[in-house]
Structure 1
């Protein structure tokens, strides 16, 4: 019940009260006052729109209320006033409901930070005033307000706001933590890097804010349709008067023709679509992106980090000594690589931990950049270096003395559900193409089985050129990437979509939509949201116009009086808004 008394509902409640009192005391001009309130509201709103250089105004409703005064049809005019004030209130409420998920991002940001000074004193400080280099304290279950380096010995953060992953992530002292994560461990301290406006979380919020500043083509189309629709309505109203010489018939045409469906249906539908996407950690910058996605015919994918995990992992251990086991040799390699910071060394250590290999100690470890690493384990000298010969992917050799005892094979892994995504896009009639800077053999090994077009050894310039060629061929092009080298292609495509942990700021700025997570099926979810939003927006616009047009014809021939016409249009408005709100449904 409290929602009824929200600020946006006060004008229609006042008009409704005047309608009710006027029905009880017809001798008093309560309905005239209601009409005046409606005229005042629409005039004020029109002035605001003109200031914003928007000239798609509700001319017909304004004219209908003025005509109702001259025709002494005060009840019809009051109902139009209720329709206008009520429709706008419902629109504002619907938009507020649809934007709730988007506003929630900004509302989670704390207004103050607990800052520890150099002398050890603690004080609250507005988040905008916290400078780079200051130490802040984050309590359990609080949001990390600013980017920075972990000062505590360890931290446990939930980064679902940033990545979509629910599993907590462990951080050690000295590691960089992005704002937006939730501290799900003990109280921690963090040394701030950068400021409030440049923080990771605020960059995401700015993307959300930008979404509200641009209108999709179909919203602009709805406003363009308003002008010819208004002209046709005025002609029909004039014709009805000339044929019947009854001002009430013209009024009936005007009240039914009030084009609320054109003005409010599409914005509500698209805001609902943005909200639906935001609930799945997909930030769409502007409503026009949804329209472009619904018309997409070609999708280009970057490979590494987009369709693959972007992390080298150990995929196979080839044992070459009959008396040794894979687990034993992995333990030896892990002990030696413990002393290296090479990415392949981390992959071996990770595999050793996952496969529960025994923990061994390596001594006399020597690493020669570009050649390999060697060390003593259990009395034997081992060397790890690049494997000789031709191999699929990356391979390292493990030698005991001069004898090769094992080969370790590494590969970037294809993300889960990639095959399902490709099937879903193909079902939509979309052509799929892969852009990668990797060698063709590696790309073919991972993606050749999917039967897609593969463009290998691409530079940022050649990726841009591929997008340009497709667009010149008449295609509506979508580019999906994740890194700095994808930024030119993302910006040049009709729609750029970026998978990001938010560290690739250039890619984020170039993209039209940002997916905060790794699940590739979120791309299909975004396409589904776009198609759904376009379909529902179109239904709302043309359905509302069709219903109003039928009603106008009946009114012009005298079958619908002004009061009934006003009530009919109110029903149409409510139906259109409720239909548009379906885009926000999960």
Structure 2
């Protein structure tokens, strides 16, 4: 009973319409039956006036008011004495909002499911060993947290138990449990297995993975469908055709009732409701596949996209290069600097950077058993390298051009085989050597590009900060012939702006990709940690470290818009059929008004089909794909 009361309280005009219908029905069987037309007519015209005010407001905001048909139909029905038909149309208008809410709630249930699981409290282990249940916003980095069996991990942390088994499906979509060992990072949002574990919080709850993803989901769920422009393509001609059919029916029959009978089935609801429901359903489906689409406008852009650009490292490649060689060139104190000393200085400088290549260098040093030194001073130059003071030495680590600037002369390029890249090192303004790394192309990069090509993407570009030789090797392996290497963030932005075939999608993962993701028509952040600049500036956040999710998002976008257009077409077609029947006098106004409701339901049910579809899983065949022939590179 409380649910019914809550519904009626939320939609008072639906309640008012029902009450007026009941009141008029009671009057109709009593001695006051003659006042029924006045009751129904007055109420219907008042509600038509309310809709007219809303329509004018929409017109002022630049949107054509598709309620014009309903307003005209109500007025015409009252004018010709079809009062009950007018009331049914009013019910359609007032009930449309409730129907839309219901359908949208069903469509976005996969989006909101993540929010409903968000933990609100955590078990903190106190200094004396006791456990206190506290709100998660009271947890701070360094706190020890107990996570019991089958509980959601509340914050990002480092596992202190010997082992732990976690279900990561809420973050990655993978249902198989993953085993962690002491010292490994556990992300918030994963579900603990059958045994209790402890961890040390590394981030506050608001900065942890799950809360950041939940914020993205909340943003996506609150997104307003951009279907005004799509509906506008049909609203004006549909309105004119409906009025034309109604006017001709009146003209040839000489009966004004015929005009009202046609208009009561000229429903605008497929334009008002069905398309936004389809978009919300598509966003829900995308979320199930591991891609959070922040705005429904993005799905429409996916539908029209002609070009796509990729960052290389961490996107087309795994982004976890390994150190393969250390080459020294500098003599120090009369003797050659050892490989280990060069690597120690470089890795000590790089440990302050969050860049993927910096992590590879520090990992390579630790694998060789080399201890790192805490820098006395350190500064990062975005997309160039790191400047540090270590053991009293000025140490520069980064691109060749960056090091050349420091030493004041050109450097001899270190020898590389295809697929390798080099990081150059300068110590005390002298070229000290180079570190050689290699990053592998993802197994499913090629097949992902193949799916995108099948979806109508015509132009493929790779933008990277790496050297030309490394970039060309990866591009050749994937069949991409639009390549720009040695890119700074500004160069990537210029390259995307220079692509003429629009809309253009940009896929990247790093902090330095944030500007170009924001500059593209659609920015896609790969394998995102919720708090990164890349995910904040992107339109789509891929939750899994899996490039095939990009293809999934594009497929969902294209299919969603197709379903939305189909829902509009089905609704308009059914309305035209009923209008034609009514034009010949074979559909009484009251029956036509109820048939209008049937059209609305059919259109909405059709729109909900956007929540279903096959999973997009490109096969693992990275080097089998070849891009369409492209004769020129973008001007930048």
Q: Please, what TM-score do these two structures have when normalized by structure 1?
A: 0.75
Q: Distance in 2 between matches of 1:49 and 1:192?
A: 53
Deviation at 1:195, TM superposition (A): 3.8
Which of these residues, 416, 430, 438, is aligned with residue 443 of structure 2? Answer: 416
What is the aligned partner in structure 2 of residue 299 from structure 1? 308
What is the aligned partner in structure 2 of residue 115 from structure 1? 124
Alignment of 1:205-354 (within 5 A): 205-223=214-232, 225-226=234-235, 229-230=238-239, 233=242, 237=246, 241=250, 244=253, 246-312=255-321, 343=360
Does residue 526 (structure 1) correspond to residue 553 (structure 2)? The answer is yes
What is the aligned partner in structure 1 of residue 29 from structure 2? 27
What is the aligned partner in structure 1 of residue 477 from structure 2? 449
Q: Distance in 2 between matches of 1:458 and 1:31?
A: 75
Aligned length: 517
Deviation at 1:468, TM superposition (A): 0.9
Q: Distance in 2 between matches of 1:224 and 1:446?
A: 43
Q: Distance in 1 between matches of 2:364 and 2:179?
A: 18
Q: Distance in 1 between matches of 2:140 and 2:296?
A: 35
Which of these residues, 492, 505, 517, is aligned with residue 519 of structure 2? Answer: 492
Deviation at 1:508, TM superposition (A): 0.2
CA distance 1:6–1:42, change in 2 (3 Å): farther
Contact 1:219 1:267 in 2 (8 A): no
Deviation at 1:502, TM superposition (A): 0.9
Contact 2:299 2:560 in 1 (8 A): yes
Does residue 144 (structure 1) correspond to residue 153 (structure 2)? The answer is yes
Contact 2:308 2:457 in 1 (8 A): no
Which of these residues, 587, 596, 612, is aligned with residue 585 of structure 1? Answer: 612
Contact 1:393 1:442 in 2 (8 A): yes
CA distance 1:199–1:450, change in 2 (3 Å): closer
Contact 1:252 1:562 in 2 (8 A): yes
Q: Aligned with 1:311: secondary structure?
A: coil
Deviation at 1:487, TM superposition (A): 1.2
CA distance 1:48–1:125, change in 2 (3 Å): farther
Contact 2:165 2:193 in 1 (8 A): yes
CA deviations 1:353-408 (Å, max 9, x no partner) are: xxxxxxxxx9xx77799xxxxxxxxxxxxxxxxxx965445599xxxxxxxxxxxx
Contact 2:317 2:441 in 1 (8 A): yes
Deviation at 1:235, TM superposition (A): 6.3
Q: Aligned with 2:313: secondary structure?
A: coil
Alignment of 1:147-162 (within 5 A): 147-162=156-171
CA distance 1:275–1:556, change in 2 (3 Å): same
Deviation at 1:231, TM superposition (A): 5.8
Which of these residues, 110, 117, 124, is aligned with residue 133 of structure 2? Answer: 124
What is the aligned partner in structure 1 of residue 465 from structure 2? 437
Deviation at 1:238, TM superposition (A): 5.7
CA distance 1:251–1:488, change in 2 (3 Å): same
Q: Distance in 2 between matches of 1:506 and 1:429?
A: 27
Which of these residues, 462, 475, 480, is aligned with residue 491 of structure 2? Answer: 462
Q: Which runs of 5+ in 1 are unaligned?
A: 317-340, 351-361, 370-387, 397-408
Q: Distance in 1 between matches of 2:279 and 2:46?
A: 29
What is the aligned partner in structure 2 of residue 324 from structure 1? none
Q: Distance in 1 between matches of 2:578 and 2:517?
A: 47
What is the aligned partner in structure 1 of residue 198 from structure 2? 189
Q: Distance in 2 between matches of 1:45 and 1:109?
A: 40
Q: Which runs of 5+ in 2 are unaligned?
A: 326-350, 352-358, 374-413, 423-435, 614-636
Deviation at 1:493, TM superposition (A): 0.7
Deviation at 1:236, TM superposition (A): 5.6
Contact 1:313 1:411 in 2 (8 A): yes
CA deviations 1:138-180 (Å, max 9, x no partner) are: 2121112223444445443333333344454444555543321
Q: Distance in 2 between matches of 1:199 and 1:37?
A: 54
CA distance 1:49–1:66, change in 2 (3 Å): closer
Which of these residues, 522, 528, 541, is aligned with residue 568 of structure 2? Answer: 541
CA deviations 1:14-33 (Å, max 9, x no partner) are: 97899899999963569977
Alignment of 1:72-111 (within 5 A): 72-84=81-93, 87-111=96-120
Q: Distance in 2 between matches of 1:116 and 1:291?
A: 49
Q: Distance in 2 between matches of 1:37 and 1:122?
A: 63
Q: Aligned with 1:309: secondary structure?
A: coil
Contact 1:31 1:75 in 2 (8 A): no
Contact 1:298 1:432 in 2 (8 A): yes
Q: Distance in 1 between matches of 2:73 and 2:471?
A: 66
Contact 2:48 2:74 in 1 (8 A): no
CA distance 1:128–1:367, change in 2 (3 Å): closer
Q: Distance in 2 between matches of 1:36 and 1:134?
A: 66
Deviation at 1:224, TM superposition (A): 6.8
- What CA RMSD, in Å, does the superposition of the two structures yield over aligned residues? 4.3
CA distance 1:294–1:57, change in 2 (3 Å): closer
What is the aligned partner in structure 2 of residue 515 from structure 1? 542
